[in-house]
């Protein structure tokens, strides 16, 4: 079974530029997550999709970050304009269920996109 | 607001020894997850703990959950070098489960021959 795919793997941009990340979840996984992991910290949830609807985006800096999930499958996360503090690894994860009604909710993570903002 | 704290943050140990990593959290939840991350790699699911008293074991690792104490432990038995990694616990901030995970800071484990 193929895992969660992400691209690009690395990106270097200057501050105030824009950048976009792509994620393809495991086939059949209804729930998709984007996390930001700053060096030396645990991942922080940015947004959670259930199919193509947003379940939780309470920690997404909406003045500069946006995300969409096309047709309930692939997703893109965009930053515009980028700031120095956005330098981090952006992780995409997917799960078969959300852990409700007896489900385990186990999340499977992609390899991440490492972003450096100069 | 849910806070998740791991202890210790750094752990260096000898092969063959036993040790425990602690994960404390601040609000009610009965869903806790342990993940492993190797340097430069993504996160790998280790254990899913879904109720008070849950205990899971895989090889030299054993995880347990005490929801009344808001504490989970990850116990390492007779450590081997291959277990060197960063270990994260994550707690679902919705008690009945919705995968709104809050992660701890991580425990960087180094096992020396």
- Give residue A91's Cα distance to chain centre: 5
CATH for B4-112 (3.20.20.140, 2.60.40.10, 2.40.430.10, 2.40.50.140)? 2.60.40.10
pLDDT band at B96 (very low <50, low <70, confident <90, very high): low
CA distances from B106 to A43, A104, A116, B49 (A): 10, 22, 22, 18
CATH topology of domain A5-101: Immunoglobulin-like (2.60.40)
> What digits encode the pLDDT tens for the residues A93-104?
999 876 665 667
Q: Is B42 within 8 Å of A98 when comparing Cβ atoms? A: no
B44 CB within 8 Å of a chain A CB: yes
Cα A55 from chain centre = 14
Residues from chain B that touch A98, judged by Cβ atoms under 8 A, are 97-99
Average pLDDT over residues A48-65: 92
pLDDT at B95: 61
Is pLDDT at A110 greater than 80 in this prediction?
A: yes
DSSP state letters, A31-100 = EEEEEEE-TTS--EEEEEEETTEEEE-TTS-TTTEEEEEGGGS-EEEEESS--GGG-EEEEEEEESS-S-
Whether residues B90 and A42 touch (CB distance < 8 A) is answered with yes
Spell out which residues of chain B touch residue A93, defining contact as CB-CB under 8 Å: 43
Q: Which is more confident, B89 or B39?
A: B89
Q: Provide mean pLDDT across the span A70-76.
A: 90
Q: In this prediction, what percent of chain B has a pLDDT beyond 90? A: 74
CA of A46 vs chain B CAs: smallest distance (Å): 10
């Amino acid at each position: 079974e193929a895992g969660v795919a992400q691209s690009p793997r690395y990106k270097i941009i200057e501050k105030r530029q824009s950048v976009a990340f792509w994620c393809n979840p495991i086939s059949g996984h209804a729930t998709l997550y984007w996390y930001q992991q700053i060096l030396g910290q645990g991942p922080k949830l940015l947004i959670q999709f259930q199919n193509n609807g947003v379940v939780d985006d309470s920690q997404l800096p909406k003045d500069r970050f946006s995300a969409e999930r096309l047709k309930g499958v692939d997703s893109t996360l965009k930053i515009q304009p980028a700031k120095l503090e956005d330098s981090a690894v952006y992780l995409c994860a997917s799960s078969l269920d959300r852990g409700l009604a007896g489900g385990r909710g186990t999340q499977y993570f992609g390899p991440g996109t490492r972003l450096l903002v100069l | 607001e849910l806070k998740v704290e791991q202890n210790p943050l750094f752990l260096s140990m000898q092969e063959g020894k036993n040790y425990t990593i602690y994960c404390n959290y601040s609000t009610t939840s009965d869903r806790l997850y342990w993940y492993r991350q190797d340097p430069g790699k993504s996160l790998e699911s280790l254990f899913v703990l879904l109720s008070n008293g849950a205990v899971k074991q895989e090889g030299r690792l054993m995880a347990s959950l005490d929801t009344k104490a808001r504490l989970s432990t990850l116990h390492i038995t007779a450590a081997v070098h291959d277990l060197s990694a960063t270990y994260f616990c994550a707690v679902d901030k919705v008690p009945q489960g919705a995968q709104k995970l809050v992660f701890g800071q991580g425990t960087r484990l180094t096992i020396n021959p």
